[in-house]
Structure 1
């Protein structure tokens, strides 16, 4: 067990993984909300991520930007 400081934890199912040379884009469905995480290919392989895997997405961001139309 591990304790984490990240409070924004969302259960999700992986819907697709697109691997580049160094980065993998991991697409997820979190209760009808589409999310994409960019992680290293090495990390994706070490975690054994595959389409359909259940994961917990943990979000820790120092900045969140919002925009609205004029």
Structure 2
């Protein structure tokens, strides 16, 4: 499944590995089949509205107007 009705080109299918729920925002870690972990920060209300739970299969949609690079 892919989401094509919105303007997001980078999509990562995976399962929720961890949810760090806060009073206003929460961090969601999504692990792809290749082992890549994508972290999203969304409102805690959205976590509840979407019914997100550890182990649930989701698609992480990544859209960015800027990519920053830091030297190691």
Give the TM-score normalised by the residue count of structure 1.
0.90
Structure number having the greater strand percentage: 1
Please report how far the alpha carbon of residue 2 of structure 1 lies from its aligned counterpart in structure 2 after TM superposition: 6.2
How many residues align? The count is 69
Flag structure 2 segments of 5+ consecutive residues without an equivalent: none
DSSP 3-state at the match of 1:35 = strand
Runs of 4+ in structure 1 deviating by more than 4 angstroms, as ranges, are: none
Rg larger in 1 or in 2? 1
Give the TM-score normalised by the residue count of structure 2.
0.88
RMSD after superposition? 1.4
